Structure 1
Amino acid sequence: MRKITIIGATAAILAAATTAHAGSLGRPCTAAPQASWLSLEQLQAKIEGQGYKVQKAKLKNACGELYTIDKSGGRVELFVDPTSGQIVGRL
């Protein structure tokens, strides 16, 4: 019974942590006007140049969200400044 409680509590904590970071880390990646942003294709090329394999990319809340596979084969969600392609966060 205690194991079930611990597992349930751990799952709840992980879900809360994921929710707190979801949606472009809860804050915009840039305050620059959209006219100065790179295209999704340019952002994807910059990230792939760093060794990631991009599976899906989108712009949300002034932040590029790229769902990738890293060099070791692990899934990583990257949050990217759309003006520079700089990675500002990851999950």
Structure 2
Amino acid sequence: MRTTIALATIVAIAGAFSAQASSLGRPCTTAPQSQWLSVEALKAKAEAQGYRVQKAKISKACGEIYALDPNNARTELFVDPTSGEIIAKE
């Protein structure tokens, strides 16, 4: 019984980490890279909305921002790199 509970706990924790590390799976824009904002500009836009950015990058035509929301909950934001608009959250 203890082994089953421990295994279930490990699977749940692993699932939480893999969900955070996953990407949106589709581009957030079809605009050319020359029209994208810098990573620093995307971070500034997220911070202006109350997020505390911990890490940010652009991957597969989508800005990925790892941050704490205004309630201090960890979140991953997927943003359009041309505008900084939030497309999705995890």
Give the structure-2-normalised TM-score: 0.78
The 3 A distance-change label for structure 1 pair 19 and 73 is closer
Aligned-residue sequence identity (percent) comes to 58
- State the match for 2:61 in structure 1: 62
CA RMSD of aligned residues (A): 2.4
| Structure 1 unaligned regions, length at least 5 | none
Give the stretch that moved more between structures: 11-20 or 59-68.
Answer: 11-20
Aligned residues: 90
Whether the aligned pair in 2 keeps the contact of 1:20 and 1:26 (CA below 8 Å) is: no
Q: Relative to structure 1, is the Cα distance of residues 58 and 84 closer, same or farther in structure 2, using a 3 angstrom cutoff?
A: same
Describe the SS at the equivalent of 2:29: coil
Paired letter, 1:37: W
| C-alpha distance 88-4 of structure 1, shift in aligned 2 (>3 A) | farther
The alignment's TM-score, normalised by the length of structure 1, stands at 0.78
